[in-house]
C-alpha cells in the first residue's frame, strides 16, 4: 500500500478504539515504515532472493558483477551504504563483506588476534546482527528526513512538493543489502558448523562462506602453513550449513565454498577410499611420498597408502601433518571446486597469491568444462601489492611483445622514479579494469575487498594525528575533517542527527504531544551546519 492508504487503513484501526484518542495513525505508519524488517531472519530471507536474482543476472550478462567492501563495525557498514546511495542512487549489486580476519583483528573479545581460528565463535554472528542494526537505523534516519520535509511542505501549502515527497517515501530503497559472512573453517566439527550457521542466519546472513582448511590449524588465506581437509569432511560442513538454511526457512540461502588448496601444502589426514578413482583416492593421489619396494622398508609408525598400484609412504612432518606433492595446487583447486559445486555449494572462492586474470581464468575454465555456470567470489585482497603486481604484469607483457624495457628494473618497479612513466600509467589502467575483466574472462560474480576499512581507519587517523598534535592544532580537524564532510555532503557532520537525535525527538512528540521535551531546538549546535 501507499503511504496515504496505509494511514487511512490504520486510521480505521485506531478509530475503532475509544481509548486510543491520543494515537496519531500517521505516526504509527511512519514507525512501521522505519522498521521494515521485524526480525533479522526476515532480512536473511529478503536478501537471499536478491542474491539469487543477481546470480541469474550475471549468468545472462557477465558485466553485471557484484561488489562489496569488508566492514568491521556497524557504523562503518552503515556509512558505506549511505555513501553508495548518495553517489550512485541505489544499492543494486552492492553488498557487504564480513571477514573472519577483521573479526579476529578488531572485534575479538580476546583483543587483536592473528587470523588463525582463535577468536570466539560467536563474534561473527554478533557482528552480522550489529551491521544490520546500523543499516536498519540508516533506513529510519533517511525516512525521518523525508517525513520532516513532508511536514514542512504540507505546512507551507506546497502540494506539489508534498506529492513528490510521498512518492519518495513510497519508493524508498532500504540500506539493507546482502552480507557475505565468513564462517572460517566452521570452528570445529559439522555440528558446531550447523549451530553457528543458525546463529549467523538468525542474525541476518543470507550467504555463508566456508573454507576447506582444518579448523584447529586454520591460517590466514595469504599466509603459509595452510592445512586442507579431505572432501568428505568439507562436504559434511556444506551440508550442515544448507540444513541450517532449510531449517530456518531460508530455502534459497547461498553457500560459498572456499578452497585454499592453491597455497596449501599440507593435509591433516588421509582420505577414506573404497575403490580406485573415487574421491578419497583422488585426494590421496596428491600426497607426496616414497615408493615402498618391500615390507622391511616400512618403519614403526609409518603410514602406507596405495597410489596408482604402488605402495607409498606419505611424507609426514614432525607436526604429524602430511605433505602434498609440489606443483599440484592448481589441480587440487579444480577438483575441490567441481566437487563443492556438485555437492551443494552455490559459489566458489579461489584464494590466489596475486591478482592475475589469466591465472584465475586458467583454473575457472577447467571448472566450467564440468560445471558451465560456475561462479567465483574473488578476494581483491589488501594483502596484494596492487601497484607492484600490475607493474610487473605490464612489464612481463611488454617483454613478451619484444618492447624495449631498458629503462625499467622489474625488481624495483615500486621506485617513485617510475610513477610518471608509461608503464605505471598502463599498470594503473589494468588495475582499474581488473574487476570488469575478471568478471568477463574468469567467471568472477562477486568482487570484494576483505579488509579495506581496517586500512582506511588507520590512514585517516594518522592524517588527523599528524596535524592535531603537531603545529596545525584544531585547523587539522576543521580543515582536514569537518570542511571535507561539508563539501562532500557527508551526513555525519551532523553527528547528533546521524545517531538518531531527531528520530528520538519525533518519537517524544508521538508519545507525549506538545508536552514533549525535545533536544532539537534553535540552539542545537547541529543548526550550525545548515
DSSP string computed for 152-184: HHHHTT-HHHHHHHHHHHHTPPPS---EEEE-T
Is 181 inside a domain boundary?
A: yes
Alpha helices in 376-473 (DSSP H): 386-401, 422-441, 452-468
Alpha helices in 89-122 (DSSP H): 100-102
Q: Indicate the average pLDDT of the chain.
A: 94
pLDDT of 278: 96
195 and 267 together in one domain: yes
Mean pLDDT of 456-475: 97
Query: Can you point out the beta strands (E) in 202-277?
Result: 207-211, 227-228, 254-259, 266-267
204 and 263 together in one domain: yes
Of 64-73, 100-109, 473-482, the range with the lowest mean pLDDT is 100-109
350 and 478 together in one domain: no
Domain count, the chain: 2
Is 384 inside a domain boundary?
A: yes
Quick check: 526 pLDDT over 90? no
Residue of 156 and 116 predicted with greater confidence: 156
Sign of CA dihedral 395, 398, 402, 407: negative
pLDDT digits (tens, 9 = 90+) for 306-365: 998 899 999 998 888 999 999 999 999 999 999 999 999 999 999 999 999 999 999 999
Q: Could you tell me the CA-to-CA distances from 373 to 97, 341, 342, 364, 441 in Å, in that order?
A: 23, 10, 12, 10, 13
DSSP class of residue 271? P
Last residue of a domain, one of 438, 458, 478: 458
Mean pLDDT of 92-109: 93
Is 271 inside a domain boundary?
A: yes
Is 154 inside a domain boundary?
A: no
Is 146 inside a domain boundary?
A: no
481 and 418 together in one domain: no
Is 525 inside a domain boundary?
A: no
pLDDT of 530: 77
Instruction: Tell me if residue 188 falls in helix, strand or coil.
Output: coil
Last residue of a domain, one of 435, 458, 481: 458
pLDDT of 426: 98
The residue behind cell 578488531 is: 106
438 and 485 together in one domain: no
Instruction: Tell me if residue 260 falls in helix, strand or coil.
Output: coil
Mean pLDDT of 42-56: 98
pLDDT of 520: 73
Q: pLDDT > 70: what percent of the chain?
A: 98
Query: Which residues are the active-site residues?
Result: 220
Longest Cα–Cα distance in the chain? 99
> Which residue, among 340, 306, 332, has the nearest Cα to 228 in the 3D structure?
332
Q: What angle do CA 522, 528, 530 make, to 5 degrees?
A: 95
pLDDT of 224: 65
Separation between Cα atoms, residue 367 and residue 338, nearest integer Å: 6
Is 6 inside a domain boundary?
A: no
Confidence of residue 223 (pLDDT cuts 50, 70, 90): low
- Alpha-carbon Rg for the chain in angstroms: 28
Give the HSE-up count for residue 441: Cα atoms under 13 Å, Cβ half-sphere: 13
pLDDT digits (tens, 9 = 90+) for 229-238: 999 999 999 9
Separation between Cα atoms, residue 94 and residue 91, nearest integer Å: 5
243 and 330 together in one domain: yes
89 and 216 together in one domain: yes
Mean pLDDT of 28-39: 96
379 and 495 together in one domain: no
Is 354 inside a domain boundary?
A: yes
390 and 491 together in one domain: no
pLDDT of 219: 65
Cell of 180: 557475505
Separation between Cα atoms, residue 460 and residue 226, nearest integer Å: 33
Give the residue numbers spanning the domain of 232. Answer: 50-135+177-286+324-458
258 and 388 together in one domain: yes
pLDDT of 433: 98
263 and 344 together in one domain: yes
What CATH number should be reported for the domain holding residue 269? 3.20.20.60
476 and 453 together in one domain: no
Length of the chain: 530
Amino acid at each position: 500500500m501507499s503511504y496515504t492508504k496505509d494511514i487511512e487503513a490504520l486510521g480505521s484501526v485506531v478509530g475503532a478504539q475509544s481509548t486510543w484518542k491520543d494515537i496519531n495513525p500517521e505516526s504509527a505508519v511512519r514507525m512501521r515504515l522505519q522498521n521494515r524488517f521485524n526480525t533479522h531472519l526476515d532480512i536473511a530471507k529478503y536478501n537471499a532472493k536478491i542474491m539469487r536474482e543477481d546470480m541469474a543476472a550475471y549468468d545472462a550478462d557477465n558485466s553485471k558483477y557484484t561488489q562489496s567492501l569488508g566492514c568491521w563495525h556497524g557504523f562503518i557498514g552503515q556509512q558505506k551504504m549511505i555513501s553508495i546511495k548518495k553517489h550512485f542512487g541505489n544499492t543494486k549489486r552492492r553488498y557487504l563483506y564480513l571477514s573472519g580476519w577483521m573479526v579476529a583483528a578488531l572485534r575479538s573479545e580476546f583483543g587483536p588476534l592473528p587470523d588463525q581460528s582463535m577468536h570466539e565463535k560467536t563474534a561473527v554472528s554478533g557482528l552480522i546482527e550489529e551491521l544490520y542494526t546500523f543499516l536498519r537505523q540508516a533506513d529510519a534516519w533517511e525516512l525521518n528526513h523525508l517525513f520532516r520535509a513532508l511536514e514542512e511542505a504540507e505546512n507551507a501549502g506546497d502540494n506539489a512538493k508534498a506529492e513528490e515527497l510521498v512518492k519518495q517515501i513510497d519508493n524508498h530503497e532500504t540500506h539493507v543489502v546482502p552480507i557475505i559472512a565468513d564462517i572460517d573453517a566452521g570452528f570445529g566439527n559439522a555440528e558446531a558448523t550447523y549451530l553457528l550457521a543458525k546463529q549467523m542466519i538468525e542474525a541476518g546472513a543470507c550467504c555463508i562462506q566456508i573454507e576447506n582448511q582444518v579448523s584447529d590449524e586454520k591460517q590466514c588465506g595469504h599466509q603459509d602453513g595452510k592445512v586442507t581437509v579431505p572432501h568428505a569432511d568439507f562436504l559434511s560442513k556444506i551440508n550442515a550449513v544448507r540444513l541450517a538454511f532449510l531449517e530456518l526457512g531460508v530455502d534459497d540461502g547461498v553457500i560459498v565454498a572456499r578452497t585454499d588448496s592453491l597455497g596449501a601444502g599440507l593435509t591433516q589426514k588421509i582420505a577414506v577410499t573404497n575403490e580406485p578413482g573415487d574421491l578419497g583416492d583422488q585426494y590421496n593421489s596428491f600426497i607426496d611420498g616414497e615408493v615402498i619396494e618391500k615390507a622391511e622398508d616400512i618403519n614403526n609408525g609409518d603410514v602406507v597408502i596405495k597410489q596408482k598400484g604402488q605402495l607409498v609412504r606419505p611424507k609426514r612432518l614432525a607436526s604429524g601433518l602430511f605433505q602434498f606433492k609440489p606443483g599440484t595446487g592448481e589441480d587440487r583447486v579444480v577438483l575441490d571446486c567441481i566437487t563443492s559445486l556438485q555437492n551443494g555449494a552455490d559459489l566458489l572462492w579461489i584464494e590466489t597469491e596475486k591478482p592475475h586474470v589469466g591465472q584465475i581464468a586458467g583454473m575457472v575454465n577447467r571448472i566450467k568444462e564440468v560445471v558451465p555456470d560456475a561462479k567465483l567470489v574473488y578476494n581483491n585482497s589488501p594483502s596484494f601489492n596492487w601497484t607492484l603486481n600490475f607493474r610487473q604484469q605490464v612489464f612481463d607483457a611488454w617483454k613478451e611483445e619484444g618492447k624495449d624495457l631498458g629503462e625499467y628494473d622489474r625488481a624495483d618497479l615500486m621506485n617513485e622514479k617510475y610513477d610518471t612513466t608509461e608503464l605505471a600509467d598502463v599498470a594503473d589502467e589494468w588495475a582499474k579494469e581488473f574487476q570488469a575483466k575478471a568478471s568477463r574472462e574468469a567467471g568472477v560474480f562477486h568482487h570484494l575487498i576483505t579488509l579495506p576499512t581496517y586500512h582506511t581507519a588507520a590512514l585517516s587517523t594518522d592524517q588527523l594525528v599528524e596535524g592535531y598534535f603537531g603545529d596545525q592544532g584544531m585547523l587539522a580537524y576543521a580543515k582536514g575533517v569537518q570542511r571535507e564532510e561539508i563539501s562532500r555532503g557527508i551526513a555525519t557532520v551532523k553527528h547528533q542527527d546521524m545517531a538518531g537525535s531527531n528520530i528520538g525527538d519525533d518519537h517524544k512528540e508521538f508519545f507525549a504531544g506538545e508536552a514533549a521535551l525535545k533536544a532539537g531546538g534553535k540552539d542545537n549546535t547541529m543548526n550550525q551546519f545548515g
